[in-house]
Structure 1
Amino acid sequence: MKSEQIKDLLGRMTLEEKVGQLSQITGEHYVGKVNEEMVETGPDFSSLSIKEEALYTIGSIIGVSSAKITNLIQAEYLKKSRLKIPLLFMHDAIHGYKTIFPIPLALSCSWDEEVVQKTAEEIASELRAAGIHVNFSPMVDLVRDARWGRVMESFGEDPILSGVLGKAMVRGYQKSDGRQIPQDGVASCLKHFAAYGGAIAGKDYNAVDMSMREFFEYYGKTYEIALEENPRFVMSSFNSFNGVPVSASKELLRDILQTKYHFEDILISDWGSVAELQNHRVAASPKEAADLAIQAGIEIEMVSTTYLQYLEELIEENPALLEYVDRAVLKILHLKNDLGLFENPYVDEEKEKTHHLKEETLRFAKEASKKSCVLLKNNQVLPINKNTKRILIVGPFSSTRQLLGNWHCKGKFEDVISLKEGLIDVAPQLEVQAYETLEECPAQAMRNCDFILVAIGENWQLSGEGHSSVQLELEPLQRQLIKDVKSLGIPYACICFSGRPLALQNIVDDIPALLWSWFPGTQAGTAIAELIMGKDTPSGKLTMSFPRHSAQVPIYYNEYSSGRPANDSSYSNRYQDCEIGPLFNFGHGLTYTNTTYSDFQLSDENITENNEIIISFKIHNPSDYDYSEIVILYIEDVISQTIRPEREMKKFKTIPIAAKQSVKASMTIQMDDLKYVNSKLKRTIERGNFNIYINDTTKPIFTIEY
């Protein structure tokens, strides 16, 4: 359909039909509840009335899956729709649809844009085969507090890394540099704008209160970067920001998102957040909530129905609102056209069967899982010795298939490879037995085993939306299990599964080797087995700091410099009953390679607007592993007029290095990398020195001058 035809279609729409396009509801209104094919991810708003005639003006449906059901609803809708404008179907495939990949926090530990983009491409293909057009992903909310359940959906605590990986995911979903989205792509929805990850005390849906400098330099930076890839949607966040609920904030949605960050596409609310303006007590009625939201810029109301009930009345009272409505409807019609829905609103049901859990997708999912694991500790225990014949796996994750993590969409546990199954498959020469507790293990098996894997962690249901926690320590039974295994005198290592960093200070000394697997997805067991058996090396690095104790959060690497830096003195920036710093810091991650860096060179010691600086160096991989080394560049502004963090990550690269080989590498610093937002909200730089660090944040390799 040409642009002129779309404008003509808009001109033929009634006000009721326009309002319908700005409303999103669940699918059972058309065909009833269909078992697993309809998913609700928020509170029930079914008590809100929807007129029969309004059902056939609706613009989009949330939570419906499968080609059969999307086709069924689409057909029922179009049969009674006056203008035959097809429905959009939207879903939350956060880290997979049927094939489940590592949770986003795990994926970020690969530091690999190509892996993240390819993951999104595979998810998009499975979604589109099921008749879904829009994915509510990626989430680029900056996170610093592991108590918040949604850290699992994030890319960690650094704004640049979060923004860059967010861009990669948008690119993968949409599969297009232009407006047209191919038949195996979906529209991406960037979320949640804004600062949702900064909720006070890590409580989901809680208020956010921060300076605008903090916002523009850190929390807002993630969206600013990711928006460069032109996602077709942005979702507003549940939280209030400096006293105003985001879904009612003209400052955030119009002044910052649309004007400052130049977002011109569709702005959608989160589940029920327009109606919930009444709970915030900024709206006395649903009508007032609708008025606040439309004026703030919300263009699609998700699930709640204040627009359906009151927007026509509001326009009669304030005709200027019609301009907002027309502009929003035009964007929605253009998206439906760019997806090719006017020509073909249906999906091939037979094609769906061949697009889910494909062998090549599963192979890639295994590689993504391996790159996402982080080896946190290793006292020469891993990889497992080749002479090992009998392995005992103990712990609550020893043979479970519940390794997908929260938000696992249509993934099924029966499709997952457990740790036990993966080990048997990867090392068939081994004798493998698995038990949840040592008490279940036969004495003979205990005496005969050569190595013990302790499979521990946090149940997948304890992280995700609405799952904030004050307790980040391993549960007591698991801590005791580790101590009991240690007392046996048999070589052992720990594999940990979780959706967030955990606090391990009280048990870490009893762990000789620790592989942090997060929730690795469908190919979990095989990926982990290949790493611990030495068929490949762990290579991931943390993107979120691990606290020593629960009470140490929020904790993050880029803390501001203090007038009394942390030291052994009582009069310094520290806790009196806790060691200084995180247990495992941002950027930490071990390999089996013993890789070394050498021959550091600097192209120039002075930087200007027209003179970038190139840092070159050599990386040597003496091991038998082909792998990708993660290189992270940090800066330290030695003196600045406004306080800056002790260290700031500015550039990163994943560099493939073949076994027994050396490679030359380089990283470039431009003037913009050294600038910051000052107390007057101006992006600036002052004359002076900057220390440059590569991976090791304790020793600068160079000092440059501006």
Structure 2
Amino acid sequence: MENRKIIELLQEMTLAEKIGQLSQTTGEHYIGKVDSEMVETGPDFPAHMLEGDTLYTMGSIIGVSSAGITNRIQRQYLERSRLKVPLLFMHDAIHGYKTIFPIPLGLSCTWDERILQQVAEDTASELRATGIHVNFSPMVDLVRDSRWGRVMESFGEDHLLSGNLGRAMIRGYQKGEHGVIADSGVAACLKHFAAYGAGIGGKDYNAVDMSWREFYAYYGKPYEIALQEKPKFVMSSFNSFSGIPVTASEEMMKEILRGTYQFDEIIISDWGAVSELQNHRIAADGKEAAELALKAGIDIEMVSTLYLQHYEEILANNPALLQEIDAAVLKILQFKNELGLFENPYADEDLEHEVLLNPRFLENAKNAAKRSCVLLKNEQMLPIKQEYKNIIIVGPFAGSNQLLGNWKCKGSFDDVVTLPEGMKRADESLNLQVYETLKDCPASRLEQCDFIVVAIGEQWELSGEGHSSVNIELESSQQQLIREVKQTNKPYACICFSGRPLALQNIIDDIPALLWCWYPGTQAGNAIAELITGRGTPTGKLTMSFPRHSSQAPIYYNEYSTGRPANESSYSSRYQDCEIGPLFPFGHGLTYTDTQYSGFRISRHDLTDGQELTISFEVSNPSKYDYDETVILYIEDLVSRAVRPIREMKKYRVISVPAYQTVSVQMTLSVDDFRYLDHQLQQTIEPGKFNIYINDLQTPIASVEYR
């Protein structure tokens, strides 16, 4: 449809029809509750405003799935809609739709933007085949506190990595360039703007309070980077920031998102966030809440119905808002037109069956799962020796198929490859026995056993939205299981599933080898089996530090320097009853390859404006494995006028290192990479020395001086 006709359509709409386009609801209002095809991700709201013709003015639907259901709702809607403006369907496919990939925190441990883009492309194909047009992903909220439940949706504690991985997923979802949505793509919705991951105390939905320097330098940076890929949607966050709920903040929405970050597409609230302005106690009633959100620039109200209920009174008192409403409706109509929905509003139900769980998607899911696993510790226990054939798998996850993680969308546990299934596929000669506890294992089996795999972790329901935890230790029963296995004197290794870093100080000395698998998704068993049987090597590196104890969170690598740095003295920045530093730091991850770095060289020792610095070195792989190595470059500013982090990651690269080969690597820094945001929010750099680190937060490989 020509844009001229879209403008004419807007002019023909009544005010009620316009407000309908700015409102989103759930699918049961049209066809009743279909449990297998509808997903609710928030609380119920009164539905009285959706009665009669109002229901057929709505602009979008959240949480329904399958081509049959979306078509059924769309058909009924268009039959009764006056202007026949098609519905948009939106969903939360956070790490896959039917084919489930590792949770985002796991995906981030690949450090590989190509993998995340591929995950997003496959997810988009499945979504579009089922009639979904918008995906509420990626989440690029910077997270430093592993007590927060939604850490599993994040890309970890570094702002640059989070932004880059989010940008890769936007590129994958939309599949087009410069914000264009390809035929098999979906619109990406970047979330949650802004600083949602910094809730006080690690509690979900909690207030956020920080300096503007902290925001622009760190918490705002992932959005700034990811927005360069031009997502079609941004979702406002639940939290308040500096005393104002973001959903009602003209400063956040208009000055920063629209102005500073130059986003000019559609802003949608989170589920019920407009109504919840009353709970924040900045709005006395629903009318005030709706007016605050409209003034802030929230284009679509998700699920709650305050726009529908109060628009007449709001516009009677503030007629200037009509111009903003028209602009929002026009964007929505233009987006629907861009997708071709006016000509073809329905999904191809035959195509859906060809696309979902496509073998190519499953292979990509296995590769992503393998690359996301992180080998945290290994006292020469992994891989399992080929001569070990009698293997016991024990623990609460030993035979479990519940390995998808939270936000599993339409993923089915029935499609999950379990660990025993994966190990038999990897090696048919294995004699596997599976037990939930060691007490279940007959003494004769234990005596014949060559190796024990201990499958432990955090149940998937314990992480995700609304699942913040004060205690992130491994369950005591699982700690006891590990100690019981140790007492058998059999060789063993631990395989752990979780949605967050856990605090393992109390048990780590009893674990000779630990492979952290996060929640790996549909192909979990195949991926893990190939790693622990030596058919591949783990290559993941942590994107979030592991605390020693629950109360050590938040802990992160780029903390600010302090006047009394942590040391063994009582008068230093440390806990008196805990060792200094994380149990496993950001960037940590072992392989089976004994990778060697050598020959560090820098192109210059002095640096001035307009010049670049090149760091060169070699990476050697003395093993039989072809694998991908993640190289991370950090800097340290030895003296600056404003306090800076102890270390700052500036560059990273994923390089392929063939077996028994040496690869030359170059990484380049510009002067801008050494600049920082000062207390006046200005990018600055002072003359002085900087240390450079490669994959090691303790020992610099070179120094350079800016003059």
Q: TM-score category by the smaller chain?
A: over 0.9
In the other structure, the counterpart of 2:551 is 551
Q: Distance in 1 between matches of 2:156 and 2:265?
A: 26
Deviation at 1:180, TM superposition (A): 3.5
Q: Under a length normalisation based on structure 1, what TM-score does the superposition of the two structures give?
A: 0.99
Q: Distance in 2 between matches of 1:326 and 1:692?
A: 53
In the other structure, the counterpart of 2:319 is 319
Deviation at 1:608, TM superposition (A): 3.2
| Alignment-mate amino acid for residue 171 of structure 1 | R
Q: Which string of whole-angstrom CA distances, capped at 9 and with x for unpartnered residues, describes residues 131-168 of structure 1?
A: 00000000000000011000000000000000000000
Query: SS of the counterpart of 1:666?
Result: strand
Match status 1:630 vs 2:593: no
Q: Distance in 2 between matches of 1:342 and 1:159?
A: 40
Comparing 635-644 and 311-320, the one that deviates more: 311-320
In the other structure, the counterpart of 2:454 is 454
Match status 1:439 vs 2:439: yes
Deviation at 1:52, TM superposition (A): 1.3
Checking the alignment, whether the CA contact within 8 Å between 2:141 and 2:191 is kept in structure 1 is yes
Checking the alignment, whether the CA contact within 8 Å between 1:24 and 1:62 is kept in structure 2 is yes
Checking the alignment, whether the CA contact within 8 Å between 2:383 and 2:534 is kept in structure 1 is yes
| Alignment-mate amino acid for residue 615 of structure 1 | I
In the other structure, the counterpart of 2:278 is 278
Match status 1:342 vs 2:342: yes
Deviation at 1:332, TM superposition (A): 0.7
Deviation at 1:8, TM superposition (A): 1.7
Query: SS of the counterpart of 1:646?
Result: coil
In the other structure, the counterpart of 1:198 is 198
Q: Which string of whole-angstrom CA distances, capped at 9 and with x for unpartnered residues, describes residues 594-615 of structure 1?
A: 1111122212223333211111
Comparing 306-315 and 558-567, the one that deviates more: 306-315
Query: SS of the counterpart of 2:495?
Result: strand
Match status 1:307 vs 2:307: yes
In the other structure, the counterpart of 1:29 is 29
Deviation at 1:51, TM superposition (A): 3.5
Q: Which string of whole-angstrom CA distances, capped at 9 and with x for unpartnered residues, describes residues 598-655 of structure 1?
A: 1222122233332111111111111111110000000111111110000001110000
Query: SS of the counterpart of 1:444?
Result: helix
Q: Which string of whole-angstrom CA distances, capped at 9 and with x for unpartnered residues, describes residues 466-498 of structure 1?
A: 000001111110000000000000000000000
Q: Distance in 1 between matches of 2:640 and 2:103?
A: 38
Deviation at 1:178, TM superposition (A): 3.6
Checking the alignment, whether the CA contact within 8 Å between 1:239 and 1:245 is kept in structure 2 is yes
- RMSD between aligned residues: 0.9
In the other structure, the counterpart of 1:644 is 644
In the other structure, the counterpart of 1:513 is 513
In the other structure, the counterpart of 2:357 is 357
Query: SS of the counterpart of 2:336?
Result: helix
In the other structure, the counterpart of 1:253 is 253
Checking the alignment, whether the CA contact within 8 Å between 1:179 and 1:338 is kept in structure 2 is no
In the other structure, the counterpart of 2:612 is 612
Comparing 144-153 and 40-49, the one that deviates more: 40-49
Query: SS of the counterpart of 1:85?
Result: coil
Q: Under a length normalisation based on structure 2, what TM-score does the superposition of the two structures give?
A: 0.99
Comparing 450-459 and 599-608, the one that deviates more: 599-608
Query: SS of the counterpart of 1:49?
Result: helix
Deviation at 1:705, TM superposition (A): 1.8
Checking the alignment, whether the CA contact within 8 Å between 2:417 and 2:524 is kept in structure 1 is yes
Match status 1:535 vs 2:535: yes
Match status 1:171 vs 2:168: no
Match status 1:502 vs 2:499: no
| Alignment-mate amino acid for residue 108 of structure 1 | S
Q: Which string of whole-angstrom CA distances, capped at 9 and with x for unpartnered residues, describes residues 664-705 of structure 1?
A: 111111122111111111122112111111001111111112
Q: Distance in 2 between matches of 1:606 and 1:328?
A: 52
Match status 1:95 vs 2:95: yes
| Alignment-mate amino acid for residue 22 of structure 1 | L
Deviation at 1:335, TM superposition (A): 1.0
In the other structure, the counterpart of 2:464 is 464
Checking the alignment, whether the CA contact within 8 Å between 1:19 and 1:312 is kept in structure 2 is no
After superposition, residues 354-503 of structure 1 pair within 5 angstroms as 354-503=354-503
Checking the alignment, whether the CA contact within 8 Å between 1:141 and 1:194 is kept in structure 2 is yes
In the other structure, the counterpart of 1:56 is 56
Comparing 44-53 and 518-527, the one that deviates more: 44-53
Query: SS of the counterpart of 2:654?
Result: strand
Checking the alignment, whether the CA contact within 8 Å between 2:178 and 2:229 is kept in structure 1 is no
Q: Distance in 1 between matches of 2:135 and 2:633?
A: 33
Q: Distance in 1 between matches of 2:180 and 2:378?
A: 49
| Alignment-mate amino acid for residue 190 of structure 1 | L
Identity among equivalent positions (%) equals 66
After superposition, residues 585-624 of structure 1 pair within 5 angstroms as 585-624=585-624
Deviation at 1:434, TM superposition (A): 0.5
| Alignment-mate amino acid for residue 92 of structure 2 | D
Checking the alignment, whether the CA contact within 8 Å between 1:247 and 1:296 is kept in structure 2 is yes
Deviation at 1:49, TM superposition (A): 2.5
Question: Any unmatched runs of 5+ in structure 2?
Answer: none
Checking the alignment, whether the CA contact within 8 Å between 2:179 and 2:230 is kept in structure 1 is no
Q: Distance in 2 between matches of 1:190 and 1:513?
A: 37
Checking the alignment, whether the CA contact within 8 Å between 2:272 and 2:304 is kept in structure 1 is yes
| Alignment-mate amino acid for residue 174 of structure 1 | Q
Deviation at 1:457, TM superposition (A): 0.2
Q: Distance in 1 between matches of 2:456 and 2:363?
A: 25
Query: SS of the counterpart of 2:438?
Result: coil
Q: Distance in 1 between matches of 2:433 and 2:500?
A: 28
Query: SS of the counterpart of 1:29?
Result: helix
Match status 1:125 vs 2:125: yes
Q: Distance in 1 between matches of 2:354 and 2:201?
A: 45
Deviation at 1:274, TM superposition (A): 0.1
Deviation at 1:313, TM superposition (A): 2.4
Q: Which string of whole-angstrom CA distances, capped at 9 and with x for unpartnered residues, describes residues 104-140 of structure 1?
A: 0000000000000000000000000000000000000
In the other structure, the counterpart of 2:658 is 658
After superposition, residues 65-214 of structure 1 pair within 5 angstroms as 65-214=65-214
In the other structure, the counterpart of 2:222 is 222
Checking the alignment, whether the CA contact within 8 Å between 2:618 and 2:662 is kept in structure 1 is yes
Q: Distance in 2 between matches of 1:214 and 1:451?
A: 49
Q: Which string of whole-angstrom CA distances, capped at 9 and with x for unpartnered residues, describes residues 510-535 of structure 1?
A: 00000000000000001000000000
Query: SS of the counterpart of 1:218?
Result: helix
Deviation at 1:179, TM superposition (A): 4.5
Query: SS of the counterpart of 1:39?
Result: coil
Question: Any unmatched runs of 5+ in structure 1?
Answer: none
Comparing 600-609 and 108-117, the one that deviates more: 600-609
Q: Distance in 1 between matches of 2:116 and 2:558?
A: 24
Q: Distance in 2 between matches of 1:47 and 1:577?
A: 53
Deviation at 1:312, TM superposition (A): 2.9
Deviation at 1:47, TM superposition (A): 4.5
Checking the alignment, whether the CA contact within 8 Å between 1:393 and 1:455 is kept in structure 2 is yes
| Alignment-mate amino acid for residue 532 of structure 1 | I
Checking the alignment, whether the CA contact within 8 Å between 1:497 and 1:518 is kept in structure 2 is yes
Q: Distance in 2 between matches of 1:58 and 1:672?
A: 48
Checking the alignment, whether the CA contact within 8 Å between 1:676 and 1:683 is kept in structure 2 is yes
| Alignment-mate amino acid for residue 132 of structure 2 | I
| Alignment-mate amino acid for residue 78 of structure 2 | L
In the other structure, the counterpart of 2:669 is 669
Q: Distance in 2 between matches of 1:607 and 1:128?
A: 50
Query: SS of the counterpart of 1:439?
Result: helix
| Alignment-mate amino acid for residue 424 of structure 1 | K
Deviation at 1:209, TM superposition (A): 0.9
| Alignment-mate amino acid for residue 289 of structure 2 | A
| Alignment-mate amino acid for residue 102 of structure 2 | P
Q: Note closer, same or farther for the CA distance 1:179–1:513 as it changes in structure 2 (3 Å cut).
A: closer
Q: Which string of whole-angstrom CA distances, capped at 9 and with x for unpartnered residues, describes residues 353-373 of structure 1?
A: 010011111011000000000
Q: How many residues align?
A: 706
In the other structure, the counterpart of 1:561 is 561
| Alignment-mate amino acid for residue 320 of structure 1 | A
Q: Distance in 1 between matches of 2:345 and 2:614?
A: 51
Q: Distance in 1 between matches of 2:486 and 2:17?
A: 68
| Alignment-mate amino acid for residue 183 of structure 1 | D
Deviation at 1:576, TM superposition (A): 0.3
Query: SS of the counterpart of 1:55?
Result: helix
Deviation at 1:292, TM superposition (A): 0.3
Q: Distance in 1 between matches of 2:46 and 2:274?
A: 15
In the other structure, the counterpart of 2:297 is 297
